Amino acid sequence: MKRNLYIALAALVVFVLTACQAAAPATPAGTPGNEFFQDQPGRWISVSPPVGWVAKPGGSNISPTIILTDDWKGYQQSDGKAIGITILPLTDKGSAEQVLQIAIGRLKGSLAQPAGEVKLEQVGNQSYASVEYNGLSIQAGGESAYYFLAVVATDQRSVLVFISTTTPDQQEHIRAAFQKAVKAITLH
């Protein structure tokens, strides 16, 4: 039941973030090679999942996402042990830090206070900004939640990467997986 609420929150967050952006072409086009949106100019994303993980198209035509998970079947069946990290293409432009601040502003109803400083990194033409937040879970009826948020950006585009948990003992496990997931994304 809790897992279904988490999935509903993720869907709501994706909808809110997407609704706040300019309209963009939407049909997710994932292929077995972990390439997504290749048929949409300026939106091509490659994901190199960690060993044992998969990347699959998610969301809808209105708010397409990529789900990176350690257990696709468990994720689809709302298994609370399956980790499902959402990758949401954005139309916002700017540095990773600027786009992260925009996303945080859009999520202000769920995010209460940062649990640390924003971490910045530049690798090649991609910049990364990540932060963790304490907040409230929309899915779990206002229960405390811990959010992991990151933006991967180039000069022309960006994606938001996020996951939340209401289980404090999962934070370290999710943190390690989340850091790998963020580095597994290449914007073309």
pLDDT digits (tens, 9 = 90+) for 54-98: 999 998 888 899 999 999 999 998 877 889 999 999 999 999 999
Strand partners, 46: 35, 186
8 A C-beta contact, residue 81 and residue 74:
yes
Q: Within 13 Å and on the Cβ side, how many CA atoms surround 146?
A: 15
Q: Whole-angstrom Cα distance, residue 47 to residue 66?
A: 9
Domains recognised in the chain with CATH numbers: 2-187 (3.40.1000.10)
Mean pLDDT, residues 176-188: 94
The pTM for the full model equals 0.81
Per DSSP, the three-state class of 65 is strand
Residues belonging to the chain: 188
The pair of structure tokens assigned to 136 is 């409230």
Q: Whole-angstrom Cα distance, residue 15 to residue 52?
A: 29
The pair of structure tokens assigned to 8 is 């509903």
Q: How far is CA 108 from the centre of its chain?
A: 16
Reported confidence tier of residue 140, pLDDT bands at 50, 70, 90 = low
